[in-house]
């Protein structure tokens, strides 16, 4: 879905006079009601929906207006046009959905109270595509920039910097699921498990397809040793994003500590395979799961293989302890 920012460059002339007609019941008006609301000094959007040839789309389209990621208005087009009187200036996003067309999004800068003519172009959707699905909330440019910088700081474990940018994103778009996800991850890094859980629960409520938010929620619950509660969101995340080996690893741990050893074994094996050597410590969870299901020799073999390849890693001491315990308990023969 393409976006094309509308930049205010040279014209800064305010509206000098206004036409006052009879009031309409809502700010959004169809084309037959253009000019029937008193705008005052508030900005107005005049949206025209076109196809790729430039022709106005006659079929009704659903138009949604967002400010800082929060929906402020919506309405249907009439003869391809819709009108909105905005509550204030600022950065806005418009999404348009119409049956038989791909959804489109356009970002707008609305610096002064005047009328803005906006064209939105829709591409035809193939028969196999799900047309007409309402667009999810979008981040305005400033909020998106703060959000991206916050994620980058989190990935580099620069928590003070992350707190600054995520806080800015929360101020600009407090109801956006991506921003709530970033805030939840920040709480996780700060070991504030309860706040992380609350924030991530809200993110998943707002976006029930947010795989990363479900995964982070599962981690927040696991960190509180709420393993049974952690399993459903982790399973949901794994369903939404099957290639995320980190989620399978966390899910395997939750299964293990919840006493679901067969599931832990299967999931830890999957995580180890999918990680492609990025996290060899998953082998320790695999060994624990093998022991829990009574496959002691297989567990010992996994531990020996880990020590052979990764004797310099911090987890090597744990692997040796597990192996010694198997021997002391008589589960395996002494070397």
- Kindly report the CATH number assigned to the domain that includes residue 27: 2.60.40.10
pTM of the entire predicted model: 0.62
pLDDT at 317: 95
pLDDT at 40: 59
22 φ, ψ (degrees, to nearest 5): -65, 145
pLDDT at 2: 38
- Assess if residue 148 is contained within a domain: yes
Contacts 24+ apart (CB under 8 A), 123-130: 123/51, 123/52, 124/51, 124/52, 124/100, 125/100, 125/101, 129/102
Which residues form the domain of 271? 141-279
pLDDT at 74: 87
**How far is it, in rounded angstroms, from Cα 263 to Cα 266?**
5
pLDDT at 70: 76
pLDDT at 101: 77
Residues 131 and 2 in one domain: yes
Residues 31 and 102 in one domain: yes
pLDDT at 125: 59
Residues 235 and 107 in one domain: no
- Assess if residue 303 is contained within a domain: no
pLDDT at 51: 80
Residues 129 and 175 in one domain: no
Last residue of a domain, one of 100, 135, 170: 135
- Assess if residue 87 is contained within a domain: yes
Q: Count the domains in the chain.
A: 2
Extract the residue ranges of the chain whose pLDDT is less than 50.
1-39, 126-134
């Amino acid at each position: 879905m393409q976006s094309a920012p509308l930049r205010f460059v040279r014209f800064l002339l305010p509206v000098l006079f206004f036409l006052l007609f009879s009031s309409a019941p809502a700010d959004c008006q169809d084309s037959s009601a253009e000019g029937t609301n008193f705008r005052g000094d508030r900005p107005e959007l005049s949206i025209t929906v076109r196809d790729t040839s430039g022709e106005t789309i006659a079929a009704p389209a659903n138009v949604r207006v967002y400010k800082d990621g929060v929906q402020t208005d919506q309405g249907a087009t009439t003869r391809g046009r819709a009108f909105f009187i905005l509550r204030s200036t600022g950065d806005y996003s418009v999404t348009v959905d119409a049956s038989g067309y791909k959804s489109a999004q356009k970002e707008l800068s609305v610096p002064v109270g005047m009328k803005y003519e906006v064209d939105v172009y829709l591409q035809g959707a193939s028969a196999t595509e799900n047309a007409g699905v309402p667009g999810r909330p979008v981040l305005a440019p400033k909020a998106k920039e703060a959000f991206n910088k916050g994620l980058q700081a989190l990935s580099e474990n620069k928590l003070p910097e992350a707190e600054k940018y995520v806080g800015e994103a929360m101020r600009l778009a407090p109801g956006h699921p991506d921003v709530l996800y970033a805030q939840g991850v920040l709480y996780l890094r700060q070991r504030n498990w309860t706040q992380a859980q609350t924030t991530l629960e809200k993110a998943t409520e707002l976006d029930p397809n947010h795989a990363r938010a479900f995964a982070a929620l599962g981690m927040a619950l696991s960190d509180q040793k709420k393993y049974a509660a952690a399993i459903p969101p982790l399973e949901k995340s794994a369903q939404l994003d099957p290639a995320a080996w980190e989620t399978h690893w966390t899910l395997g741990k939750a299964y293990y500590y919840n006493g679901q050893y067969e599931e832990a074994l299967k999931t830890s094996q999957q995580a180890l395979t999918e990680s492609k050597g990025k996290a060899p410590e998953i082998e320790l969870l695999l060994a624990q799961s093998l022991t829990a299901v009574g496959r002691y020799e297989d567990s010992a073999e996994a531990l020996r293989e880990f020590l052979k390849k990764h004797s310099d890693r911090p987890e090597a001491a744990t692997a040796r302890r597990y192996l010694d315990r198997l021997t002391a308990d008589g589960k395996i023969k002494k070397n």
